[in-house]
Structure formats: structure tokens, C-alpha cells
Structure 1
Amino acid sequence: MSDTSDCPPELLAEELQQELLKFARVAQGQAYVPYSKFPVGAAVLDEHGKIHTGCNVENASYPLGTCAESGALSAMVLAGGRQVRAVLVVGDGEALVTPCGGCRQKLREFAAADLPVLVADRQHIRHWFTMGELLPSSFGPDNLAMTREPNGPAG
């Protein structure tokens, strides 16, 4: 975990961090959370410099809800993005609201180990991690590189 709330400029400029926070706050305000009353918003920056947002959406069949990060990734893919350059998650409370295990794996599909993952509350960015810190020794698309011809023999 980082020891400061500011992500290093070489990973993500302060101005862009604040822009992600602004977008994630708006998304958090749209969350549908009648059961947990715990709204979460996420903002994902893609390889084209576009920001995509998502919020958590609960369901009466509780495990069938969706996380904010998942919604933001879906919006990114729908808009043509295929690489995540940064993500910011906004949630309230004393504890840091980091991506859940499932969302860490979903983010990994579109991101490298050095992806900055910022964690914020409504007022400010509290901490940042890299994807590698949140999901060490992860399994991703590079693990499935084609080692044989499609429909052909291994080799």
C-alpha cells in the first residue's frame, strides 16, 4: 500500500486523479443500494484517455448484484476501450473500500500489474495501490497465450 494519498505523477497526474474522483463521486450518487445502503462509485480511465463510470446495483436476490468496477469496465468495453490505465473507487466509511476479489480479477483482464488503483471517500483520495499489490501473482490474458494452432495439434 502507498504511504501517501497522492499517486506518483509518473503513474497518474494530480489533475487526472481529481477528474477521476469527480466522475466516481457522480457515479456513487447513482448507486442502487436499497439493501446494504452502501453506495460505491468507480471511474476507469482507458487507453484513449476517456473516463468510464459505474455504480453498484443491488438485487433482491442479493448475490446477483453488480459492483461499481464491473459496471465501469462494461461501459469502457461498450465504448471501445480495451485497456485500463487507472481506476478510482469511491466508498464511505472508516475502512478503505478497495475492489472486491472478483473485481480485482475483472480489472486484471484489462490492466497490467502497475495499474494505479486509487481508493477514495467523498472528500479525497485516501490511498493508492498497484494492481500487482492487490492481486499478486495473478492469472490473466497473458497466461492464455496461444501455444497451439486453433483446431490443430498442440505443439
Structure 2
Amino acid sequence: MITDDDALIAAAREAATRSYSPYSRFPVGAALRFADGRVVTGTNVENASYGLALCAETVAAARAMADGLRGGLEAVAVTGPGAQPITPCGRCRQVLNELAALGGTDPLILCVGESEVRRMRLSALLPEAFGPASLD
């Protein structure tokens, strides 16, 4: 169980070490923390057919869903190489929104660089998001 942001960031950095990114050479790691303390990690997985690459956040969200986690997403840490903090891409923001909406949460997103961490809510990264409630 991980309950603090520093440990969540460390889990994302560890996940990035398992990246399969031979084309971009841009390893990304993500760690999702749930209300019960469980953490699910993911890393980017590239493919020679570039459009089939998977982002770290999407891999982590898919793992969480496969494990039956459907609510309680509290925080997400995303880390990559370089000095600047990185944010989830648009697709990953949407995927994270779906998982968060299932539990009615607005998770904290930790965008991690070498020495800087930007903290923002998912709703700030994806305002007026389309989600499950949009289909009602």
C-alpha cells in the first residue's frame, strides 16, 4: 500500500525502467493510487506500427480495470525523461476520466520532472470531459 505522493512518484519512476520504447527512446511510467491504498503501475509500450503504441497511463488504467478496480482513483503520477514535468496526453486524460468517473472522483495528477512536480486535478487537465454520465 502506498499512501504518500513521494512513494507514488517512486512507483511511477520504477515503472518507467520497464518501458519498451525503442523508437522514441522516451520511457514513461505511471502509477495509479486507489482509496484502499492499492497502486497499479504501467509503462509505455511502443510498436513498429507507431499508431499501435500504448501510453503508460492507459496501460495502468487497463491493468486496474482488469483487476476489477472500478472506483476510488485518488491520484496518478506520470514521469518521463528530461527536466520538464510531463502531463498525460489527451487520450490518457480521457481514459483516466472514465476510470475516475466510475467512482465519482477527481484524482490528483502528479506531473513529474527531474526536480519539479506539478500537481493538478484531472478536471483541470480535461475540463467539461465526456464520460459515462454524458450517455444518460
TM-score by length of 2: 0.88
- Structure 2 CA distance for partners of 1:41 and 1:91, relative to 1, 3 Å: same
Show the counterpart of 2:123. Answer: 132
CA contact (8 A) 1:46 1:82 kept: no
For residues 84-135 of structure 1, the C-alpha deviation after alignment (integer angstroms, 9 at most, x for no partner) is 21100011224331000000000000115632000113x5551111111100
DSSP 3-state at the match of 1:109 = helix
DSSP 3-state at the match of 2:4 = helix
- Structure 2 CA distance for partners of 1:125 and 1:86, relative to 1, 3 Å: farther
CA contact (8 A) 1:41 1:68 kept: yes
Q: Is residue 18 of structure 2 the alignment partner of residue 33 of structure 1? A: no
TM-score by length of 1: 0.78
For residue 114 of structure 1, the aligned residue among 98, 106, 111 is 106
- Tell me the CA shift for residue 47 of structure 1: 3.5
CA contact (8 A) 2:83 2:115 kept: no
CA contact (8 A) 2:74 2:105 kept: no
| Distance in 2, Cα, partners of 1:63 & 1:57 | 11
Identity %: 42
User: Which AA in structure 1 matches 2:131?
Assistant: G
Gaps of 5+ in 2: none
Q: Is residue 63 of structure 2 the alignment partner of residue 72 of structure 1? A: no
CA contact (8 A) 2:111 2:119 kept: yes
For residue 56 of structure 1, the aligned residue among 44, 50, 56 is 44
CA contact (8 A) 1:116 1:131 kept: yes
| Distance in 1, Cα, partners of 2:31 & 2:111 | 11
Larger radius of gyration between Structure 1 and Structure 2? 1
Q: How many residues align?
A: 131
Q: Is residue 72 of structure 2 the alignment partner of residue 81 of structure 1? A: no
